[in-house]
Structure 1
Amino acid sequence: MRNFLSNNPNSKAFTSLGRLRYLSCLKHVDGIIGNSSNCLLEVPTCKIGTIYIGDRQSGRIKARSVIDCEPNEPSISSAIKKLYSVDFQNKLTTVKNPYGCGGASESIVNILNEISLDSLLKKKFYNLNQE
């Protein structure tokens, strides 16, 4: 990683940016390399390619914007070439996030506002004859 960074002055690596800075940085990157769940959950919504290293999130659904690779130099190098390929870049324009695009809470509120809760909230009285 250090060699790559020293040979590529436009590249940056961070141990942690925090959520807000991280999401803000997504506007300025060509792609993401890592093994965090955000590579699978948030990044596809931004139509940015992800090079996903290893199998830490194995079993999760992945968008077409995710390139899986092994944790070794040849595999990562091959994934970077694929990330910059014209074919892959064209696919990014139509990628859909399998986890949705946000706005779930607003949709839920709209649905609940259309449902009459009167009959659901009415408490029934049960008279138990006790003799």
Structure 2
Amino acid sequence: MEVTDGPGAAATAGPCANIPAEHMDFIRQVLDRVGDKWSLLVIAVLDAGPLRYKDLQHQVPGISQRMLTLTLRQLQQDGLIARTAYAEVPPRVEYALTSLGHGLHEIVTSLIGWAADHHDEIRDHRARAIAAP
């Protein structure tokens, strides 16, 4: 892909060519947000329906409380998930995908599936790269 020089330069070919240069910073931010490992997994898990915080924490192995809280907050800010607080005793809060989040779900599950399908092959490549002088 050819790109002109400079921070505000627009791509002249490839998938970025139709995106105005002034939108690229924001698009990179969105891709960073939805492409991080925790966001992908949270979006994938929420497709089954609304979940409470603890249920999400159990279904996303390895995520810390801090990272889950931060990820949920960021996904909510971007409109990908909705947080619903119920006026009950004890209080109940659920998280669910919005229509925007559902639109991203198929892409997310495809990416996760691809990573799972090619796990062994990628692991072998990494091992060879580390072993190479």
- Decide which structure has the larger Cα Rg and report it: 1
TM-score, normalized by the shorter chain, greater than 0.5 = no
Give the TM-score normalised by structure 2: 0.28
Give the TM-score normalised by structure 1: 0.29
Of Structure 1 and Structure 2, the greater helix share is in 2
